[in-house]
Structure 1
Amino acid sequence: MIRTKIGISLQGSSIYLEERTIMLSESIVKKWKVPTNQLITLRFGSIKHEVKVIPFPHANSLRMTTTLAEKFGLYQDAQLCFQYKPSTGVMSIGPLLAVMLSRVYASPERPFGAATAFCKEITQACSTFGALVIFITPTDMRGSTTSVNGHVYTGKSWSKKSFPIPNVIYNRLTSRKYENMASVQQFMKEAKARNSTAIFNEKYLNKTEVFSALGKEETLHDYLPESHLFKNYKMLQSMASRHSCLFLKPITGSLGKGIIRIRKEAGGAYVSHSTHVNGVIKQTFPSLTKLFISLTGKLKSQRYQLQQGLDLITVDGGRPVDFRSLVQKGAQGEWTITSIVARIANSQHFVSNLARGGSLSKVKAALAKASLSAGQRASAYTKLRKASLDIAKGIEEQIPNHFGELGIDLAVDTHGKVWLLEVNSKPSKDDNSQLNAETKVRPSIKQVVQYARFLSKF
């Protein structure tokens, strides 16, 4: 694809430059065969404006009045991609990417709290690749089909103003409550229907939905532990008769919260371990019936997925290990593996999440410490990569929503077999960080911007 990147330059109105006139680099005019001294359409996001192009000698630049820039939401030195289509007479700049975030904080320096660093990072990536990113919250989504108020970082400070409806929306809402708000759902629906906006990672996934969907793909069955939406004692009894270890996981849970592990002891008693803010709570029950009775209060307030326990590889004296694979679409619109890291559980926990005191390791380093043969270690690494892509494609095939990145949690058992633990459609931007992050912009952020550019056809 031919791609041209330009810088936006602003100036006040003059006899040479007024609202319906823009100045464009002579080289770009020539390269794209842009007509001059006649009205053509300039498009940015959902907004269109008729303009007359005047060539000028400055390289890779588009100059417009501050008045026109205000209508477009553009600012000095914004870096964008440029294209002109003679068949339609439309000259497009963009893409305009909107990132949906849950809330704004009072701090002018950190308006999005801990997510502010991520916002600055994706802003930098957009400048590098030629795009403009804005950040919007549920309070900004008022149903307008022509504009949206958004926050923008210009490299020096934050500001908030009106922008056209974007070409692409990246859903980073970290609460189902916000995502399911009527105003948010209406905004996304109208942006897609009226402006052909592409929206990716448009919804949360839950564990029941994931395992049910992937179960329809015969080629994925080997990755799936037995897993059911927990309904009653009969189901618990049936699963316990087949598996010595079981897990109960909140179907909408994250960060290892609320997970319960159930094991049968040699004498017939059952032991449960529950994750807690201060560690793990251990309880022993003389029978499965007694254990089930202890769960009834939790089952009334939360739905759980009942899952077969796995005999996972361990390192460093029995600490369980699992693997987080970040699978993303990028410049070509194809699923690729951005990173896979091993997550090692804290000695006081049976879950590996960093929020529970877990630590990161390189995959091959973790596998090297596990009780696997050399052949099993090499095979496990290859299988982890294959499983990551197979599962991402399975989600895309079986769940009718648009996803551009997935956090896929995998495990390797003591025989070297790879299993799926869960799939996260809102993977943490901290959890997936590279172990040797020396660059300012991580590969995962670059992938997001390149995918947005792909979706918008820039």
Structure 2
Amino acid sequence: MLSFKFYISQFDVNDQLKPNQFVIPRKIASIWQIQHKMTGKLLFHFLSCDVEVLIDDTLPDTVVQVEPSIASHLSLLTHKRVQCIYDYKEKTFHFGPSVGVVIGDIQDSQENPFGTITNYVTEMAKSADAFHFPFHVFSYKDVTGSFIHGYTLHDGAWKKGTFPLPQVIYNRIGIRNQEKSVKGQDFFRKLTEMNIPYFNDQFLHKWDTYSHFSKEPTLTPYLPKTRQLKTRQDLTEMLNFASSIYLKPFWGKEGAGIIKVHKEKGSYFITYPTDRGWQTKNVKTIDQLVELLHVRIQKRQYLIQQSITPLHHLKTPVDFRILCIKNSLGEWQSCSAIARVGEDNKIVSNLSQGATQKKAISLLREFFPESEAVQIERFLHELAKHGAQVLDRETNGIYGELGFDFMLDNDIRVWILEVNIKPSKGDSIQLAKNTFPSIKLLLGFCEYLTGFSEY
């Protein structure tokens, strides 16, 4: 039988203790019915040691003491705050839950060591500390055996060190090739062998996501007509169906590689990104169009999707990003909604392409009565949560976070544009200073995956 959780706010190293001595306060000893000088075991993930348990009447209720060799062996020297669960039958003290964020590359910069997600993981580390979670950020390239060479936040600064592999891993490797590399696959295989849960399992490309959704009758009404671009016939048939279409790379992100084709009065207008910004060309024949697209696309896989005309009173592209996170019960919860307003000369509304953002409800209130604006936003939340549940059911691995992009057309019809498996954090809207609404939920999900949320 396991006890309720004990929140340790201070892990003192006492060099006056004899080897393998572990000191706990009288209050917790009384609650857990622990006898003075009994033998037991300390366990921090896969690291353990046998101890003699001492009881100290003078210790504050949230403080424990260990002799130096124990702290060193359990890699607890850098962790002052941690949760503890006691197993009465095995006489074992379980420490944790340690949380790790794995990324691709770490930069040699104290101000921005983790690239665009530095601010996010910094806030995550602060919240983890408040929850009594040991927290680390590391690269999959910096793993040796069962230990990582990563970073922990200490006194407001990121400090490098060597730590045991965390008990749960949040996958934020941002480049598919890194995730699929030999070293990347070796890393995930190691986690599986050690029974370490990790979430945001792997990238899913746009066609995979569309295929999963198209099997679900409750989602098909919200899917734009979409097909793979394999032949000239695919292109002509889609242009016969819709005069305006988007060509999207399977693996593109932040609007990269998107091409818009518009057919009007016998001409084809092609808009695409270049080093000098967005450029539009027009050709007269389908042969010229195919030739131009071939140069742009080359051997990359693309899909074709009908263009959705946004609300008539919006002169620029606008979409709505709904973020879904799994909570401490392992259930999907929709936690934030933003509107992204593109620039006049852009065909996308990604923030990396110059778009601006605001709360979704604020933008909806500009064009709809209060009750209708609230109803629309609520529907976006519910549709995103349902989509997350479907994707969870149809895919392998664990996903704990999904970003849904929606658009409203002139008939106030909602369309699912795409789903981001690893939503960008560098441009996340902050609803309050230094606060990200998803962090508490995400840490709760981490606790759920380790089993600590049950106590």
What is the TM-score when the length of structure 1 is the normalising length? 0.92
Deviation of the 1:114 alpha carbon: 4.0
Q: Within 5 A, what are the aligned runs for 1:6-405? A: 6-14=8-16, 16-18=17-19, 20-34=20-34, 36-56=36-56, 57-75=59-77, 78-142=80-144, 144=145, 146-194=146-194, 196-265=195-264, 267-313=265-311, 315=313, 318-370=315-367, 377-405=373-401
Letter in 2 for 1:82: C
Q: In 1, distance between residues paired with 2:312 and 2:138?
A: 42
Aligned length: 448
Q: Secondary structure at the match of 2:218?
A: helix
1:431 maps onto 2:427 in alignment: yes
**Residues 329/299 of structure 1: CA separation in 2 closer, same or farther (3 Å cut):** same
Alignment match, 1:412: 408
Confirm or deny: 8 A CA contact 2:216 2:390 kept in the other structure.
Answer: yes
- On the 8 A contact 2:116/2:426 being kept in 1, the answer is no
Give the whole-Å Cα distance in 2 for the aligned partners of 1:454 and 1:30. 28
1:141 aligned partner, one-letter code: V
Specify every segment of 5 or more residues in structure 2 that has no aligned partner in the other structure, as ranges: none
Q: CA deviation at 1:10?
A: 2.9
TM-score calculated relative to the size of structure 2: 0.92
Return closer, same or farther for 1:276/1:380 CA change in 2, 3 Å cut-off.
farther
Quote how far apart the aligned CAs of 1:400 are: 1.0
> Following the alignment from structure 2 to structure 1, what is the Cα–Cα distance between the partners of residues 137 and 279?
40
Shift of 1:456: 0.9
Deviates more, 1:46-55 or 1:410-419: 46-55
Cα deviation, residue 339, structure 1: 0.2
Following superposition, the deviation at residue 223 of structure 1 comes to 1.7
1:447 aligns with 2:441: yes
What SS class does the counterpart of residue 328 from structure 1 fall into? strand
Contact 2:11 2:81 in 1 (8 A): no
Residue identity over aligned pairs, in percent, reads 26
Task: Render the CA deviation track for 1:31-54: whole Å, top value 9, x for unaligned.
Answer: 233454233221112212222221
* Pair 1:376–1:287, CA change in 2 (3 A): farther
Change (3 A) 1:456 1:34: farther
Q: Say if 1:71 and 1:117 are closer, same or farther in 2 by CA, change over 3 A.
A: farther
Q: Is the 8 A contact 2:104 2:141 kept in 1?
A: no
SS of residue in 2 equivalent to 1:208: helix
Per-residue deviation, residues 267-322 of structure 1 (Å, max 9, x unmatched): 12111111335432111111233211111123323211211111112555x11211
- How many Å separate the matches in 1 of 2:354 and 2:84? 47
Measured in 1, the distance between the counterparts of 2:18 and 2:12 equals 10
Q: CA–CA distance in 2 between the matches of 1:30 and 1:441?
A: 38
Residue deviations 1:381-429, cap 9 Å, x none? 2321111111111110111121111111111111111111111111111
Task: State the shift of 1:71 in Å.
Answer: 2.3
Whether the aligned pair in 1 keeps the contact of 2:116 and 2:425 (CA below 8 Å) is: no
Structure-2 change in CA distance of 1:378 and 1:7 (3 Å): closer
Q: 1:110 to 1:22 in 2, by over 3 A?
A: farther
2:13/2:71 contact within 8 Å kept: no
Q: 1:230 to 1:34 in 2, by over 3 A?
A: farther
Deviates more, 1:395-404 or 1:306-315: 306-315
SS of residue matched to 2:444: helix
Separation in 2 of the partners of 1:97 and 1:77? 12
RMSD: 2.1
- Distance of 1:335 and 1:368 partners within structure 2: 27
Superposition deviation, residue 190 in structure 1: 2.1
Unpaired segments ≥5 residues, structure 1: none
